């Protein structure tokens, strides 16, 4: 999903884009391209680990820039968001266009120096060799704006395997700029790409790509505006390109021009008079704003089609037969959703079955280390309260979170990333788009919802891909209705103990996975219902349409997937959970050990909550465990164990049979198990997710609603289930 430790961590702040050069001679290169063309692979290969990220100024759109060296010269590569056009239809297209037009703030020379504007010296547009025609649309638009451009035709290896040949020499002649073929995943052609960049960025004069011929009326209108624009722009933007955009009435460009260039077209009387005259001429010719844009787009598409047809040959006409067969299975109305549910169940089965032994080994190792820490504290004659707070509180909770979270995440995230690399996740959005449209939400919400399985906070950050502010809010507020990795241990433990049995075996593990899938399906249905409710009340609106590219199926790069998912996702989520679990461990220890009279503070709190919790089919201990588990959902079960045993510290049971016996001895029934599962599925987001929501929405109101809505629904659902069971005499 393009979300990594660097793109969602503390560096992803809305502090604006600052170009960081290592030397004054370093060149700035903009890296553009459609989604799924391997642009990030090119960027990562060239920059290695010399990268840092943030948000574009005023936008929740992640940028990345990195540094590389070629033949003794430094290059700053700015990875633009994946876009299809420079005619800004989205935040991603807007920031990409603005960077190409106006650059960004440059690192000031001297501590007191004022920030200065730094323009890109050249651009690289990455294309997919297997579908060149579609990619050339962006190439042609970029050349109109920035002639110093190198076209990188990537995935040449994949094209060869499909019998597709691209004549790079002819393509270079037709475009008027250097063209380099690459297979970035293997590192092929990237040295030649840097050579081409060095040549075009250092040339005394830019290339002169052939002009795109638009309709006579459009060309006449642009020519009428060019003299005034040349005078006002002073070479800072191409006059013809600017004229076409202003005729298109792009308000975002006008605002950006005003901020970056100090020229406000809307208050320039002479220019506005001429612009009005030209627009009236166009309207008399039957070209209103929509017709004008359609004409421009049509000209670009036709030229892209002509060029692609002239340089591309196909040895096999059936090269996409296998993909079409897969799409009929994975995206059709009849089989799309069943296949999605089967794959989801399969992922959970692999996660559950594969995580058991590593979790036990990791737990044994971490608790062995706890014993050594205890010996160290005794050797140092440290006070018992200090040992209790740091070892039995902070360290024990931290050890539990790590042993419970790390193994399943180390399985789930690589499998999830493999599906992403294979090209399946966009098809999930396609399959669920109709359901989200019925809920008056955006089909892209399917992708952010899927990300929530790993971490709800990452799912909230992923909502940046949704262009509509209304639909983005709906996706953020409802993301918590799908369980994250932190809630899986509680759900799996209860399913195993009370509904499947603890005997083990592949059959029981599969049954656990199917039941877990059913619980998750309930969360998905709630997501649809709540999205529809929000759309009908406080977030009214018409669902927006969106263009979703279904990328070609590709063989996943297993090695890269494992490294990326473990380092960028697993360890990031684990580190964030550990950061909140450590202080939570101290608070939990204090609750369990600070006594008022004969009872601990924890016992007093559970006693106060018990009457209300009983109405929900729970008890005071369970409800208190969820409250204290606000920093990390993984510690809910350990807190329940600690409270029932009144041990003063979190304990671990050797088997689920022993744990089930403890729970039933303390009044648990099938109804308690069901209500605990429901409340685990539907309750407040964890502290990390709440902070992420606050950062993304920049609103206390929406953050509070994101907290209060699932809480209220969870309480209501548990109360209804418990009341119905009691009325029917089933509990």
CA–CA distance, 638 with 650 (Å, rounded to integer): 6
Residue 183: per-residue pLDDT? 92
CA–CA distance, 69 with 21 (Å, rounded to integer): 12
With a cut of 80, say whether residue 15 has pLDDT above it.
no
Residues paired with residue 124 on neighbouring β-strands, in sequence order: 31, 150
277-308: b or e for each residue (b if 16 or more CB lie within 10 Å)? ebbeebeebebeeebbbebbeebbeebbeebb
With a cut of 80, say whether residue 499 has pLDDT above it.
yes
Nearest to 477 by CA among 688, 684, 687: 684
Spell out the residues 6+ positions from residue 106 whose beta carbon is closer than 8 angstroms to its own: 18, 19, 21, 115, 116, 117, 118
What are the CA-CA distances from residue 272 to residues 275, 278, 336, 690 (Å)? 5, 10, 53, 47
For 254, the token pair is 């006008």
pLDDT band at 7, cuts 50/70/90? very low
pLDDT digits (tens, 9 = 90+) for 251-307: 888 888 888 888 888 888 999 999 999 999 988 888 888 888 889 989 999 999 999
With a cut of 80, say whether residue 431 has pLDDT above it.
yes
Residue 317: per-residue pLDDT? 66
Residues paired with residue 73 on neighbouring β-strands, in sequence order: 70
Nearest to 549 by CA among 33, 190, 186: 33
Nearest to 129 by CA among 183, 76, 175, 186: 183
For 35, the token pair is 């989604």
pLDDT band at 4, cuts 50/70/90? very low
CA dihedral 191, 197, 198, 203 (to 10 degrees): 150
Nearest to 428 by CA among 358, 369, 509, 344: 344
Residue 20: per-residue pLDDT? 79
CA–CA distance, 324 with 424 (Å, rounded to integer): 13
pLDDT band at 655, cuts 50/70/90? low
CA–CA distance, 75 with 121 (Å, rounded to integer): 10
Rg (CA), the chain: 29
3-class DSSP state of 95: helix
Is 421 or 88 the better-scoring residue by pLDDT?
Answer: 421
pLDDT digits (tens, 9 = 90+) for 23-72: 888 999 999 998 888 888 899 889 885 555 555 544 556 678 888 999 89
Residue 8: per-residue pLDDT? 34
Calculate the average pLDDT of the chain.
84
Q: How is the beta sheet containing 62-70 ordered, strand by strand?
A: 51-55, 62-70, 73-79, 27-33, 122-128, 149-154, 179-181
pLDDT band at 707, cuts 50/70/90? very high
Residue 223: per-residue pLDDT? 93
CA–CA distance, 497 with 551 (Å, rounded to integer): 42
pLDDT digits (tens, 9 = 90+) for 436-480: 888 888 888 888 888 888 788 888 888 877 878 888 999 999 999
With a cut of 50, say whether residue 178 has pLDDT above it.
yes
What are the CA-CA distances from residue 231 to residues 228, 236, 263, 276, 279 (Å)? 5, 10, 11, 18, 20
Q: Indicate the burial class of 627 (C-beta count within 10 angstroms; 0-12, 13-18, 19 or more).
A: middle
Looking at residue 183, the DSSP 8-state letter turns out to be B
With left for phi above 0 and alpha for psi between -120 and 50, is residue 381 left, alpha or beta?
left
Mean pLDDT across 524-534: 93
Helix/strand/coil percent split, the chain, to 5: 65, 10, 25
CA angle 641, 408, 491 (to 5 degrees): 45
What are the CA-CA distances from residue 369 to residues 363, 579, 651 (Å)? 10, 19, 15
Residue 319: per-residue pLDDT? 62
For 482, the token pair is 């799908």
Query: Residue 260 in contact with residue 105, Cβ under 8 Å?
Result: no
222-261: b or e for each residue (b if 16 or more CB lie within 10 Å)? bebbbebbbebbeeebbbbbbbbbbbeebebbbebbeebb
Nearest to 22 by CA among 124, 148, 106, 116: 106
Query: Residue 7 in contact with residue 63, Cβ under 8 Å?
Result: no
Looking at residue 394, the DSSP 8-state letter turns out to be I
CA–CA distance, 398 with 423 (Å, rounded to integer): 36
CA–CA distance, 386 with 398 (Å, rounded to integer): 16
Phi, psi of 371 (to 5 degrees): -60, -40
CA–CA distance, 659 with 653 (Å, rounded to integer): 6
CA–CA distance, 176 with 310 (Å, rounded to integer): 15
pLDDT digits (tens, 9 = 90+) for 501-522: 655 556 667 788 888 889 989 9
Query: Residue 397 in contact with residue 580, Cβ under 8 Å?
Result: no
Instruction: Determine the distance from the C-alpha atom of residue 349 to the mean position of all C-alpha atoms in its chain, rounded to a whole number.
Output: 24
Give the DSSP per-residue string, 251-265.
Answer: HHHHHHHHHHHS--G
């Amino acid at each position: 999903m393009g979300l990594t430790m660097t793109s969602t961590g503390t560096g992803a702040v809305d502090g604006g884009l600052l170009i960081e050069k290592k030397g004054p001679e370093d060149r700035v290169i903009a890296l553009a391209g459609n989604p799924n063309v391997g642009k990030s692979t090119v960027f990562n290969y060239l920059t290695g680990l010399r990268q840092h990220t943030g948000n574009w100024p005023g936008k929740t759109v992640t940028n990345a820039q990195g540094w590389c060296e070629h033949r003794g010269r430094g290059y700053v590569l700015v990875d633009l968001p994946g876009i299809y056009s420079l005619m800004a239809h989205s935040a991603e297209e807007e920031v990409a266009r603005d960077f190409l037009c106006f650059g960004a703030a440059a690192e000031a020379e001297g501590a007191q120096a004022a920030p200065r504007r730094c323009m890109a010296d050249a651009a690289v547009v990455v294309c997919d060799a297997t579908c060149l025609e579609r990619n050339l649309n962006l190439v042609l638009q970029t050349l109109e704006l920035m002639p110093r451009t190198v076209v990188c035709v990537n995935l040449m290896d994949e094209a060869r395997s499909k019998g597709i040949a691209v004549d790079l020499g002819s393509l270079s002649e037709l475009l008027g700029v250097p063209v380099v073929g690459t297979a970035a995943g293997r590192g092929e052609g990237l040295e030649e790409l840097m050579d081409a960049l060095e040549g075009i960025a250092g040339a005394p004069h830019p290339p002169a790509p052939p002009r795109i011929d638009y309709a006579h009326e459009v060309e006449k209108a642009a020519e009428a505006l060019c003299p005034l624009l040349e005078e006002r722009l002073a070479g800072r933007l191409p006059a013809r390109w600017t004229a076409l955009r202003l005729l298109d009435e792009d308000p975002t460009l006008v605002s950006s021009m005003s901020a970056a260039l100090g020229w406000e077209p809307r208050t320039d009387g002479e220019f506005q008079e001429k612009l009005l005259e030209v627009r009236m001429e166009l309207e008399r010719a039957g070209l209103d704003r929509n017709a004008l844009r359609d004409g421009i787009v049509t000209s670009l598409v036709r030229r892209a089609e002509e060029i692609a047809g002239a340089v591309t040959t196909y040895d096999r006409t059936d090269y996409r037969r296998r993909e079409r067969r897969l799409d009929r299975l994975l995206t059709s109305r009849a089989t799309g959703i069943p296949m999605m549910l089967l794959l989801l169940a399969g992922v959970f089965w692999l996660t559950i079955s594969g995580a058991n032994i590593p979790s036990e080994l990791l737990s044994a190792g971490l608790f062995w280390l706890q014993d050594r820490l205890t010996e160290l504290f005794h050797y140092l004659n440290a006070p018992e309260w200090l040992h209790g707070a740091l070892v039995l509180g902070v360290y024990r909770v931290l050890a539990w979170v790590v042993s419970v979270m790390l193994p399943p995440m180390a399985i789930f995230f690589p499998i999830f990333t493999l599906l992403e690399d294979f090209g399946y996740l966009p098809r999930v959005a396609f399959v669920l788009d109709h359901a989200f449209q019925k809920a008056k939400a955006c089909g892209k919400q399917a992708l952010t919802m899927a990300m929530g399985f790993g971490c709800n906070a990452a799912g909230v950050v992923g909502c940046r891909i949704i262009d509509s502010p209304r639909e983005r809010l709906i996706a953020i507020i409802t993301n918590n209705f799908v369980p994250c990795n932190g809630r899986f241990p509680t759900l799996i433990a209860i399913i195993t103990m009370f509904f499947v049995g603890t005997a083990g075996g592949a059959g029981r593990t599969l049954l656990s996975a199917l039941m877990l899938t059913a619980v998750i399906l309930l969360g998905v249905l709630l997501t649809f219902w709540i999205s529809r409710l929000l759309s009908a009340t406080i977030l009214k609106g018409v669902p927006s349409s969106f263009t979703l590219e279904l990328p070609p199926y590709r063989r996943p790069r297993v090695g890269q997937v494992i490294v990326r998912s473990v380092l960028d996702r697993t360890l990031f989520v684990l580190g964030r959970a550990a950061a909140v679990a450590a202080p939570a461990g101290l608070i939990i220890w204090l609750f369990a050990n600070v006594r008022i009279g004969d009872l601990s503070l924890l016992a007093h709190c559970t006693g106060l909550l018990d009457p209300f919790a009983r109405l929900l089919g729970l008890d005071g201990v369970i409800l208190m465990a969820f409250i204290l588990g606000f920093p990390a959902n993984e510690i809910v079960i350990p807190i329940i164990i600690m409270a029932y045993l009144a041990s003063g510290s979190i304990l671990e049971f050797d088997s689920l049979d022993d744990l089930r016996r403890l729970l039933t001895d303390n009044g648990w029934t099938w109804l308690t198990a069901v209500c605990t599962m429901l409340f685990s599925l539907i309750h407040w987001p964890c502290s990390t997710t709440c902070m992420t929501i606050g950062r993304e929405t920049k609103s206390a109101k929406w953050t509070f609603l994101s907290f209060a809505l699932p809480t209220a629904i969870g309480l209501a659902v548990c109360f209804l289930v418990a009341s119905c069971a009691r009325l029917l005499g089933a509990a």
